[in-house]
Chain A
Amino acid sequence: MPSSSARVQRMASRPRDDGRAHTAPTPPHVVGLEGVCRTYPGSPPVEALKPCTLRLAPGEHLAVMGPSGSGKSTLLNLLGLLDVPNGGRYLLDGSDTSRLPERARTALRGRYIGFVFQLFHLLAYRSTVENVELGMLYGGVPRRQRRARAVAALERVDLAHRMHALPPTLSGGERQRAAIARAIAARPRVLLCDEPTGNLDSETSASILGLLGELHRDGLTLVVVTHDPEVAARAARLVTIRDGVVEHGPARSG
């Protein structure tokens, strides 16, 4: 029986094969949900996500739509390794994560997944650049590199001039840019965005969506969860969730 650490090692070594030598086959999917379901215990138990299959190729831009309570958040939590499925397999870069112990899942989450939240979740008492550094804090990135990468990420989102400002002094759009910088500075395999424009006016929303689009064109794999059709329309691929059932929409050019 292979130990979990052996699996982790296998997973961990795979991206290197990717990047350096092309002898090993490239995993076809960054993310692969294979019959994944999630039921919350209770009386009666709540079947938040019925068994579903969802695969994401590197560099894809996926929008997940659905009304409140449809299971969007459950799907996002499962994709983000914040929650464990009751059944099925979750393959991240080709390796099964659903049986990993919590510690390994946490570490994987830190290295593979970037999060952008509706409420930004910036620490009000830390400067913008410190907030961006926080994304790399638990990933073992040396201190000096953290600062350099944080500054670079802030430059990428056009916020370098506010890097010493405290988040409460930033505008909503600037806050979300800082949050995006925090996510991309850690160089994730997948960026999960939960209603990234839910708290922004339409003009600011457009600029944030424009930024996400640019990042996608740069090669970032992007999952945007939203209930806003305009946001969903920017994605190349759309899935909708209704009552825990994932329905695949038509692929569009995007």
Chain B
Amino acid sequence: MTPLRPDGGQPPEVAQRPGRLVSRLSVRDLLGESLAAIGRRPARSALTILGTVLGIGAFVATLGLTTTAAAQISSRFDALKATRVVVQDGRPDPDADPPFPPDAEARLARLNGVRAAGVLWTVQTGGIGARLTPIRDPAGADEVALNVVAATPGALRAVGATVAQGRLFDQFHASRGEHVVLLGSGAARQLGLPRVDQRPAVYLGDRPFTVIGILRDVQSNAELLSSVVLPDLTARRIWGEDDSQRTMVVHTKLGAAQLIGRQAPLALRPQEPDRLLVLVPPDPRNLRGNVQADVNTLFLLLAAVSLAIGAVGIANTTLVSVLERVGEIGLRRALGAARRHIAVQFLTESAVLGTAGGVVGTSLGIIVTVAVAATHRWTAVIEPGVTLPAPLIGTSIGLLAGIYPAVKAATTEPVAALHR
């Protein structure tokens, strides 16, 4: 029996490869040994990777949910608010010249991206009420305290005002200073004025104004709905100028708000643009970033803590495994395993554990993301660039956790190990 006469006709294996007398271990064999060792205690291996699973699951779910939510924010982002720019007098000074030039609306209209623009201000009426009757009740019982707002026709367009009844005032009323008013839907209810087809009058103090329309809705400046709105020139003639109160409302095309916000001061006050204060809606991109940053910081911290715990878990299990398998280490060394083979085997075991945790955690994270998105009827957004490498985090954690046990295993002396 040739194979069983080791010392006889058959020289040792070494003779077939003269000059290459080194211990060797193929990658396939290494993986086989490591997987067999992990499979030795399946329940323990499963518990070991739990920390990594949670950590990477939290990591992937956090990123998945924030990108999903951010995509939701940007898709639902209020296109109406995102197209409103407000310009105010940044340094109100009664003695200074008016903040806006007389042709302000025309100047803004020339800017590419402006749909409508106009001046809007709350009139200081000195606390007069509005009523439907010409005769004033001395007790003021029939008066309703209403906000009085002056607006140009451009401002009405810029705030997106629509009427439930009647009509808006236009350039004709504005340029002539006509005594006409619009009632906000709330104001009309307070006054008890259901219809305007008979052109009813409303009295502000003792002055009558013709109600030409009732506002149904505005897209911004919701206070108009509870106000009496009258043309800018009419208000100035009656109650005087109050330049500091004047604000310029601009309705821009979608996406142009930031640009118009930068250009408007120069267009309105080229000699002193920094006097004007521009309120632009938050940039949707920044908003998305903010949401992401807020959620991310908290959950990524949580994920990091879980990962650290996971690493400690793997390190601990691998170390226990090294201590338990001292005899095996001694045996392998006796059978010709070099120190590096022992080290690499334990490193591989911990790396495989980490990778398994990474794969399971990533899968869980994706499932959580999709489940949450589904319950909110959102579109789940998972970035492959972040999600696909996530299991590699587990691998790195496993490798990191395996270093100390592997070194300990590799430095185990075979003589001592075999005689335990």
Contact = CB atoms under 8 A, between A and B. Distances in A.
Interface in A96-137: 102-104, 106-115, 117, 119, 121, 123, 125-126, 130, 134-137
A102 B339 CA distance: 9
A139 B21 contact: no
Contact of A121 (B24, B25, B33, B327): B327
B13 A141 contact: yes
A137 to B, nearest CB: 6
Interface in B1-50: 1, 3-26, 28-29, 33, 36-37, 39-40
Given A121-B331, A219-B5, A137 B25 contact: yes
B6 A187 contact: yes
A221 B336 CA distance: 19
Interface string A134-155: 1111111101000001001100
Contact of B37 (A115, A125, A184): A125
Contacts of B40: 125
Given A12-B15, A138-B341, A103 B419 contact: no
A189 B13 CA distance: 10
B39 to A, nearest CB: 7
A8 B21 CA distance: 7
B23 A138 contact: yes
Contacts of A138: 23-25, 332, 335-338, 341
Chain B, interface size: which category?
35 or more
B17 to A, nearest CB: 7
Contacts of B3: 149, 152-153, 156, 185, 187
A58 to B, nearest CB: 6
Interface residues of A, number: 66
A16 B317 CA distance: 46
A16 B18 contact: yes
Contacts of A16: 11, 15-16, 18
Contact of B415 (A9, A59, A77, A153): A77
B336 A106 contact: yes
A82 interface: yes
14 contacts: A9-B21, A30-B7, A82-B414, A103-B338, A106-B333, A108-B14, A115-B334, A139-B24, A140-B24, A143-B28, A152-B1, A156-B1, A184-B6, A188-B7
